[in-house]
Structure 1
Amino acid sequence: MAKEVKDPGLGVKYYQKARRIINKDGSFNVHRIGVESRGKAMYHWLLTTSWTNFLVMLIGLLLGINVVFAVVYFLIGVEHISGAVPLGGTKDFATTFFFSVQTFTTVGYGALSPEGMLTSMVASLEALTGLMISAMATGLLFARFSKPSANILYSESLLITPYRGSSTPSLQFRIANKRKNTLMEMEAIVIFAIEQKEEDGLFHRHYYELTLEIDKIHFFPLSWTIVHVIDADSPLYGVTKEEMLENEAEVLILTKGYDDSYGEVLHSRHSYYVSEFVWDKRFKRAYRVNKEGNFVMDLKDLHATEPIFE
């Protein structure tokens, strides 16, 4: 019999209809306010954000600091930079900017140097700032590269399809490892969630942990089709497509496995909202064996489906 989960940590009662619990990128749909200082929040964001965001933030910070110091040098006067030829306007600002970059990075080609007490003080402050920022950036880069993380690819759709050609329906989705590293001892937990308005006027979420055909595999070099059979013991038994849409059904997934590269257990989260459920289709085979007898898997085929009545 399917086991109802009282509360997996996501809440069960709400005054208003709630959106999906887990976003498509694996993050929880929760907006936290006032949980920690901005400095710690920024550090965590820099560790967890995408590489694009991180590099844009870092390059923008470096350019911004150098522009600020270039403005200061420009206001002091380019004539206080030994080796610089005053040309006026934007050319002088370009000279102060390049001088700022050389000072910030401590490159010091020797052609330009500070002249006078005020310029020397500003240059010293910039050199110290550059050392500190460089150390912080190096630490963040190392932390991002050394932080273990799973990169599990989930099929775009969750299928409600006959089980092994029988009349019994089943719930199915597929996963694969997007990296070339070795994952072993993979486990999956799948929870079915529905939301209903009850007599107290509140919206109640009910959670059911689904029994899987296979909930653990020892090796994970290929794709894994995770299957729940919708039999008489399933919480989905007799639930129609219309009822799933009305109750805003969602399937929550937690997978974990041992990463041989990092020597740690890695976790991955995902969910399928009812709008991502697909009926009356089946998955195409995601891998094949070539003439040399080697397995070949194209990750794009992980999402491939076909009508079941062909």
Structure 2
Amino acid sequence: MKMKKEYLVLGLALTLAGCGGGGSQAVSPGDTTLAQDMDTGRDAVGLERLAVAEQQYRAAGQRALARDDVTAIGDAGYNLATVQLNENKPTDALTTITATRSALATRGQTADDAGLDLVQAGALHRLGRENEAAAAAVRAAAGQDTDVTEKAQLVRGLIADDSGDHATLASVAAYFATLTGKVPDSWTADAREVEARNLLATAGSSQTAWQDAMQAATIRQTHVDYRDMARALGVAARAADRSGNTQAAAQLYVRASQSARQAGDTVAADRWAKQAGSAAAVDPFVEPAAPARKK
């Protein structure tokens, strides 16, 4: 079955591979069950029903195994690992990636898979295994798919910034500076975030870094990419603090924390809430505690 990749922003700016539907041209005769499972998974991702998407991509993978379709196995495995990563299950994502690579190798596909490398880099980064994550991101960036390459460069920049690797961060910023002309909005947001991080790492203009990070956040808000939006707000908070505007920094940390928490990134939410200090706001939409039972 011929697969067509459909690029959707998901969490750590990863993309999904699609099967059937959405204008793809499947080889006839095709497998409508497999195509439907993939399409339903993609639709569930669009509605942020990640548990449903995980179930559908698992079903698609099982159908792909029944079909002995190496391309479908690779796409289903990639999608399943991507969804698991965005459910904050990085260990599960790594397990899926390893099993998918094994299934592909059994069927004679031994070449590097940049998409799987990309998800692997994101999962390892979530687990704090930065050296391994950086190596996987480099492999992903060397692939032939321009969308995967761009997202891999973003992940390289995030890893480098968190690791204090200013040289790599600067090289990633230089890569994004070469992306001229008409590019997707998501790429523009990635470029602005990386540039903001690079400015802060090199003692550049904190005001410009603040503006760049806010531009990235605004683009991602428009594209309903809230986890990455929250991360950009966190960078903007750092820049505001570096600019000496502690009040604005605290407010931005609160905004980043509240957004990340609702997007499911509780680790980042807790970190930014701590950085907000006494400015940390109470969630106005939290469910009230159940009343205590009378004895």
Greater relative CO (CA pairs within 8 A, separation 6+): 1
Q: Does the pair score TM above 0.5? A: no
Return the TM-score normalized by structure 1: 0.27
Return the TM-score normalized by structure 2: 0.28
By percentage of residues, which structure has more strand?
Answer: 1
By percentage of residues, which structure has more helix?
Answer: 2
